[in-house]
Amino acid sequence: MQMAAWQLMACETVVKTVNEFEMVTHALRQVGSSVRVDDARSGLRSGQEVWATGSHEEPIQIAWEWTEIHPDVVALFDPMNILCNVALIDGQGHALARSRRMLYLNNIVHRLGWRDALPWQRQRRGVALSA
């Protein structure tokens, strides 16, 4: 089942230290993806990605928008607008400032293989694998 980015707002907030969050991010998997083609911009694509852990006790969800800046070259649409149901705290239990939280979320997103998981990339790999 595909999950939309707006559904993340209904998810319970999970409180994690930065280290705890780092340790569970390896379990993030794509659970939702959308692609739009913008004819006004020479057919370049844009869309949203939603990734989540499969943990039922404290599921973590993260979502962001992306845009194609050249054919087959994608980037985060707005690196300061990544949605996540995790409230990050430091080792003393203080909430991270928004800018510092966004830095951590950006690092996580950039480590994920989300570009390869985009629908047309999966199709391309499928064609290459079957050839």
> Which DSSP state fits 12?
P
pLDDT in tens, 13-54: 999 999 999 999 999 999 999 999 986 767 899 999 999 998
pLDDT in tens, 109-121: 999 999 999 977 6
Whether the model pTM is above 0.75:
yes
pLDDT in tens, 65-110: 999 998 889 999 999 999 999 999 999 999 999 999 999 999 999 9
* Residue 40, token pair as written in the block: 């006004």
**Structural domains of the chain ordered from first start:** 5-130 (3.10.450.610)
Q: Which residue has the tokens 């852990």?
A: 53
- Alpha-carbon torsion angle 40, 118, 49, 115, nearest 10: -100
DSSP 47-108: EEEEEE---SSS--EEEEEEEEEETTEEEES-TT--EESEEEE-TTSPBPPHHHHHHHHHHH
